Structures are given as structure tokens and as C-alpha cells.
Amino acid sequence: GHELLKQERAKSNIAVEKLSEFLFTKKVIERKRRVLEILESEETFDKSQNYFAGRIDRFEIALARAKKLRQLKVKHGWTLKEFRAAGELISEPGPYGLHESMFLITLHDQGTPEQHEIFLKKAENYEIIGCYAQTELGHGSNVRGLETTATWNSGDKTFTIHSPHLTASKWWIGSLGLTANYAVVMAQLIIDGKPYGPHPFVVQIRDLETHEPLENVHVGDIGPKFGYNTMDNGFLLFNKVKIPHVNMLAKFSRVDPNTNKYVRPSSPSLVYGTLTWVRSTIVLQAGGVLARGVTIATRYCAIRRQFQDRDAQEWERGENQVLNYTMVQIRLLPLLAATFALHFTGQSMMQLYQESQMKMSRDAGKAGSAQRGAGPEETHSGSDLLADLHATSCGLKSLASSIAAEGLEVCRRACGGHGYSSFSGIGPWYADYLPTTTWEGDNYMLTQQVARYLLKSARSVLKGEMPTNDTTHILSNYLSRADMGAAFDVIGKDEDLVAAFAWRTAYLTFEASKHRDEQKKAWNDLLVDFYRLSKAHSQYLIVKNFYEVLRSSSTTNELDPETLALMHKLFRLYALNTLEQESSEFYTSGATTVRQIVLARTNTVMKLLKEIRPHAVRLVDAWDFPDWQLDSSLGRYDGRVYEDMFHRASELNPLNAITVDPYPDSGVTFKKDESREFKSKL
């Protein structure tokens, strides 16, 4: 293995370090190295038993790590960025996860200065540990349907938090199962018998001393999951628990304790922003998430040899690296291209988001409404730019997390049998990542938001309004050229390739608009078309972003010509492979001809695979994952795959400290069990 990776690296001239710096900046890379050094020296973070431990042990270790991490933050005076970098290196969800994200964010964003004083400060000091309790057993996506109630008692100026049915039980709440003693609880505000929709309340749930649940609070862990087992997702039922007035987070809407009246929020645009930020983060991370799998599979497939090439000459002795088989390449290299495509798209999204936040902060005073995770059928108001950004983030969150999750499984399977071992490092990572396709907006449902936005844009363009952003621009461009036809040179010209993706989106948008606005088809009958539309639009955005990043002067300045040329090939591979997979939409829309698609498939894509192949290992090297982070036998930087597999199996595996009685008639299962001693020895 060792020699083969050396050879691979010698075969390519890609300036790995330069490329890494271009992707992440030097500063970020150095920060990672610095933090890594500290983590590696702490025994608490030793990963060697991660894959062996059962749920209870894993949770206990994760809790110990969460504590240690907080201690290190204090000790080294880490910034938030350093703290986050540590979390990424450790790469497992931990029991403080929701405390450190949604609990703090919600207190911060939705609390008044008085509430910051009472709750936020303590939370920041870990004197109270919280979580974000929105989802219930019976309701997730449909936040409006939540059943937990918060009834205003005008008499003693309190709220009564109550779970009227079993299905009102909070469920899935991260950090709640065993860890949190506080929760932000989303509950239906009821004043004088009248419901005002879900609002956030701060509720203590466990004793700060004994950590036992408070009276009338039924709380616990919801049990094992496909992944995420280092996290204590929890359930929570209230039996008429009273909380004071100040516990309703009141930055946007509140109950006036004197008049007992509900005070409405003025505008929901700020909350809108948080949602967009969370989704943009998912898009940005998707590239890196997938890159872990691609790194592991690419390195392994470069050292794995199996069979001789069928057409090999007699003098070409020895087995072929499986990465040389085109059927392996077609699975891995487009995903390699996708890692960069997603990374650049995420960066652009974040930039757009920050720009829009600057704009927004001007009208910060008017911000409002506290709901999070609104359903796909609700309409948000907001400026044009924001609406575009919101829709973009929905579509891209959906597409990017699907590409990453499904791509990881492709990587795992590309490793053959060994991909199935936990030591591959792909399976456990995949299992932990998978819920990203469901939370922060289920990937299927989010597409309705995108469609709604595109339909609105189409209406505006059809009315003859001037284009105000890229979306309306591509729609009106399509309208003006539709009769003429497209005639894009998708194989020869990169900008035409982008234009073909735009054309297809526009075509599908107007089709949808015809169905909904002219033919008045039922919304439900169009969901499948909307899903396709959203996917098409998001693919266009990814292709466009990739293209624009490569053209930008900062890129052409930073990257050497060879690396830049290779990046262009990756761009083309990503775009043409996508085009080919979705070919029927491209030719029915007239964006390409059938001939072009056949050519792309049989010639261009195959040629690109050949050209990219020699650089594959160096390209994944540029993602710069330390071995410690990957924790993978197959993905080791040095290629010593088999030695590492064997070491883990024979030296670290506690099952091997057991001797069984193999005969069916004996009631004894384990004749000798030294697995406990074994573990404590390690």
C-alpha cells in the first residue's frame, strides 16, 4: 500500500498545499493543526475504542469528551472557531451539542436583554445546560401542529406548560435525554382560550443539584438510532408545569402582563435569516462531508489491486489497481468533482448570506416572528434578495445533503467487502450524517418552497416586470429565446454548459407555471414535478457557482495553471455527468440535442475520467484530512491499509478476549470472558 500511494503522488504535479490553502486559507489550516496537536495529546480523545464500544460506553465517553473540550476551551482561551475546529476533528455528536448551538442561539436571538441576563449568561457559563425542544412525537415538519400548550394565567402572571396527549411528547430533542437541565420549549401560546401559534419558552426540567427530573416532568432518552448514538436525543412530557412570565422569550412577541394581551411581532425577516444561515452551513459542510468518503475510497482503491486487466499484454504482470477500472472511476471521480462543486457553492452562499445580513441589520428594528422550521406551504414575506437567498438555501440544502449522504454510500461500496467494516471509517460517518437529509427541512419537502418561489418569479416575468436577480434573469432570457431554440455548445464551451442548465430550469419553471396557474392543477398533483424543478434549479446553481469561482480573478491568481486546468476538468466532469444523468430533461427542454448527450456519455465523460485519474490521490490530499480525523484503516495517508486493519482486529477488538463453547447442546455460551479486563487494559 505504502509504495503505491507514493507512486500515485509522484505521478501528479498538483500543488497540494497551494490547493488546500485556496480551499480553506492558510489561517484555517494552521488553526486545525494547532488544535489537533492538543487533542491528540489528551487521552480522553483517544479514538481507538470508538468502533468497539456499545451505546452506554460511547455515550459516557462522549460526555467526558464534551466536558474536556469545554475545559480546553477555557484553558487555552480558544475562540469559537478553534472550538468548532476541535469538534470537527473529533467528529462525533456530543451531549453538549444542542446546548452549544440551538440553545445558546435561541436565547441570544430571541431573548430580551433582561432574559440574556437571567438565562444566557448562565448558559454560556455552563451553569445551566439546555436544549431546543421543538419536535414532538406527533409533529416535526408541521410546526404549526405542535400540541404542547403554554397557557397564560392572568391571575398569577405565569404560563402553564402542558402536554395534553402522548403525541405531544417532545421527541428527538438533542442533549435532552440525559444531559440538559433546561429546555427551550416550543409550545402553542394560549391566552384566554385563544391559540396564538407556537412560541419559545425557557423551562427548567431537572434539578440543578441532584439532576433528577423536576416534579411533573417526564424526561428521558429516546433510545438507539441508526447513528448519532453518542448523543442523548430525548423525550419530554409536562404535566401542568408553571413557569414565570419572564420565561417566554420575548424579543419578537410577548404577552403584556398588565393588559394580558398578545403583542405581535412586526416582521419575521430576522428569523428567516437564521434558517437561511443554518441551511447555508449544511451546504458548505456537504462538500467536506462527502470528501471524507471520497478521500478514503480513492486512497484505498489506489492501493487495492484485483485482477489483471483483461486486455493486458503478457509482459504487464501483476494485478491492476482497482482505481484503474473505469467502473470504479465513474463512481468515484464525479463525486470527487462534487466535493469541490459543493464547497464552492457553499462558500458563495455564505457570502451572499453575509451581504444580506449587512443589508438587514439596517432594518433590524422591524424584525419579528419567532417560528422556526415553518412548513413548506407557508409563505414568508421579505425582500427580493432575501426571498431568493431563502429559496436558494432550501433547494441547495436538499440537493447538497442528498448528494453527500448518497455519495458516501457509493464510496463505501466502492471499497468492496472492506467498505463494510467499521474500520473503513465510512459507514459510521455516513450513519451519523444521514439525519441531515431530514432535519432543518426534510429534503423532499423543501423542494416545495423552491417551486413556490420559482412560480412567483415566473409570474413576475410573465407580467413583464424587469428581472431583479439571477432567477428572474434566466427566466426572461429563456422567454426571449425559446422560439429560436438554444443551440448551446455544451461539450465545447463551459459557459454554454452553464447556460444549458439555466435553460432547463427556466423551461421546467414555465411548465410548472402552466400546470399550476393556467391549468389550475392541484398542488398535491404537482409535488413530483416540483421536486424535479427544485433539483434542476439547484444543479444549475452548483454548476454556475463552480464555473464562476474558477473564472474569478482570485482563483486564477492563486492557483497555478496546471491545477486550474484540472479544476476546469473537474467542473466539466461534474456538469456533464449530471447532465447525462438528467438527460431527458435536457433534451425535452431543447437545452441540448440527443446527439450531444450520447457524445457526452460515450466520449467526453470517459475522456475526462482518464485525464483526472492520475491526479485523484493528490486531489483528495488537498482536502487535508488528518488521519486522526478520518480514523480509517482504508483511508490512511500512508496506504498501510492491511497492517492497520489487522492491528485493529487482532489487538484492539475486545471480542477476541472471549472463548465460546461452540456446541449446541451446551448451555454455556462464553467459557471465558476477559473482555472487561481487556478493555480496562487498553
- Chain contacts with ligand FAD (rule: CB under 6 A): 98, 132-135, 139-141, 172-174, 228, 233, 304, 306-307, 322, 325, 327-328, 376, 414, 416-418, 420, 435, 438-439, 442, 444-445, 527
Give the residue, chosen from 47, 108, 221, 477, that forms a contact with a second copy under the rule CB under 8 A: 221
Q: How many CB atoms lie within 10 A of CB 673?
A: 14
43 is catalytic: no
Question: Any idea of the CA torsion for 237, 250, 120, 67, to the nearest 10 degrees?
Answer: 30
Give the residue, chosen from 106, 110, 115, 141, that forms a contact with a second copy under the rule CB under 8 A: 141
Question: Smallest distance, Å, CB 176 to ligand FAD?
Answer: 7
Question: Smallest distance, Å, CB 90 to ligand FAD?
Answer: 18
**Residue 439 sits in the site that holds a second copy (CB under 8 A):** yes
Q: Rounded to whole angstroms, how far apart are CA atoms 334 and 337? A: 5
The residue whose grid cell reads 489491486 is 305
Cβ proximity of 468 and 457 under 8 Å: no
Question: Rule CB under 8 A: which of 321-340 touch a second copy?
Answer: 324-328, 330-331
Among ligand FAD, a second copy, none, the one that 173 touches (CB under a kind-dependent 5 to 8 A) is: ligand FAD
Decide whether 339 or 421 has the Cβ nearer to ligand FAD: 421
Among a second copy, ligand FAD, none, the one that 522 touches (CB under a kind-dependent 5 to 8 A) is: a second copy
Give the residue, chosen from 313, 519, 524, 557, that forms a contact with a second copy under the rule CB under 8 A: 524
Partnered with residue 236 across adjacent β-strands are 170, 219
**Residue 226 sits in the site that holds a second copy (CB under 8 A):** yes
Cβ proximity of 89 and 36 under 8 Å: yes
CA atoms within 13 A on the CB side of 90: 28
Strands (E), 232-308: 234-238, 241-244, 254-256, 261-263
Cβ proximity of 144 and 155 under 8 Å: no
Question: Smallest distance, Å, CB 281 to ligand FAD?
Answer: 15
> x/- string (CB under 8 A) for a second copy, residues 187-216?
-------------------x----xx----
Decide whether 114 or 212 has the Cβ nearer to a second copy: 212
Residue nearest to ligand FAD (CB): 140
Which contacts qualify for 359-363: CB closer than 8 Å, 24 or more apart? 359/383, 359/385, 360/269, 360/270, 360/273, 360/386, 363/267, 363/269
C-alpha grid cell for residue 46? 483517544
Among ligand FAD, a second copy, none, the one that 224 touches (CB under a kind-dependent 5 to 8 A) is: a second copy
Question: Smallest distance, Å, CB 19 to a second copy?
Answer: 28
- At CA 332, angle to CA 329 and CA 333, rounded to 5? 75
Residue type, 81: K
Give the residue, chosen from 197, 220, 368, 614, that forms a contact with a second copy under the rule CB under 8 A: 220
Decide whether 60 or 638 has the Cβ nearer to a second copy: 60
Decide whether 295 or 436 has the Cβ nearer to a second copy: 436
568: left (phi over 0), alpha (psi -120 to 50) or beta: alpha
Question: Smallest distance, Å, CB 259 to ligand FAD?
Answer: 31
Q: Rounded to whole angstroms, how far apart are CA atoms 160 and 26? A: 53
Q: How far from 369 is each of 179, 282, 362, 366, 671, CA to CA, in Å?
A: 29, 23, 18, 10, 64
| CB burial readout 9-47, b (16+ within 10 A) else e | beebebbbeebbbbbbeeeeeebbeebbebbeeeeebee
Question: Smallest distance, Å, CB 133 to ligand FAD?
Answer: 6
C-alpha grid cell for residue 429? 460517518
Q: State how beta strands 132-133 and 182-191 pair.
A: parallel
Question: Rule CB under 8 A: which of 590-609 touch a second copy?
Answer: 594, 597-598, 602, 606
**Residue 627 sits in the site that holds a second copy (CB under 8 A):** no
Among ligand FAD, a second copy, none, the one that 653 touches (CB under a kind-dependent 5 to 8 A) is: a second copy
**Residue 315 sits in the site that holds a second copy (CB under 8 A):** no
Cβ proximity of 519 and 512 under 8 Å: no
Decide whether 29 or 53 has the Cβ nearer to a second copy: 53
Cβ proximity of 14 and 622 under 8 Å: yes
Q: Which stretch binds a second copy (CB under 8 A): 152-160, 381-389, 457-465, 578-586?
A: 578-586
C-alpha grid cell for residue 133? 425542544
Among ligand FAD, a second copy, none, the one that 98 touches (CB under a kind-dependent 5 to 8 A) is: ligand FAD
From the list 147, 440, 580, 585, the catalytic residue is 440
Helix pair angle (561-581, 605-612), 10° resolution: 140
The size of the chain, in residues, is 682
Question: Smallest distance, Å, CB 370 to a second copy?
Answer: 20
Residue 479 CA to chain centroid, in angstroms?
35
Phi, psi of 437 (to 5 degrees): -75, -15
C-alpha grid cell for residue 126? 455552563
Among ligand FAD, a second copy, none, the one that 43 touches (CB under a kind-dependent 5 to 8 A) is: none
Decide whether 16 or 133 has the Cβ nearer to ligand FAD: 133
The residue whose grid cell reads 394565567 is 153
Q: Rounded to whole angstroms, how far apart are CA atoms 180 and 182? A: 6
Give the residue, chosen from 9, 11, 55, 481, that forms a contact with a second copy under the rule CB under 8 A: 55
Among a second copy, ligand FAD, none, the one that 292 touches (CB under a kind-dependent 5 to 8 A) is: none
Q: Is 502 exposed, middle or buried (0-12, 13-18, 19+ CB in 10 A)?
A: buried
Give the residue, chosen from 13, 154, 216, 659, that forms a contact with a second copy under the rule CB under 8 A: 659
Question: Rule CB under 8 A: which of 412-431 touch a second copy?
Answer: 412-413, 416-417, 419-423, 427, 431
Q: State how beta strands 261-263 and 254-256 pair.
A: antiparallel
Q: How far from 274 is each of 109, 268, 346, 372, CA to CA, in Å?
A: 9, 11, 16, 9
Question: Smallest distance, Å, CB 606 to ligand FAD?
Answer: 15
Among a second copy, ligand FAD, none, the one that 596 touches (CB under a kind-dependent 5 to 8 A) is: none
Question: Rule CB under 8 A: which of 336-395 touch a second copy?
Answer: 375-377
Q: How far from 107 is each of 95, 185, 416, 459, CA to CA, in Å?
A: 19, 11, 47, 39
Among ligand FAD, a second copy, none, the one that 341 touches (CB under a kind-dependent 5 to 8 A) is: none
Among a second copy, ligand FAD, none, the one that 330 touches (CB under a kind-dependent 5 to 8 A) is: a second copy
**Residue 239 sits in the site that holds a second copy (CB under 8 A):** no
Decide whether 307 or 646 has the Cβ nearer to ligand FAD: 307
Decide whether 307 or 670 has the Cβ nearer to ligand FAD: 307
Decide whether 445 or 567 has the Cβ nearer to ligand FAD: 445
Among ligand FAD, a second copy, none, the one that 52 touches (CB under a kind-dependent 5 to 8 A) is: a second copy
Q: Rounded to whole angstroms, how far apart are CA atoms 626 and 125? A: 31
Known catalytic residues are 440
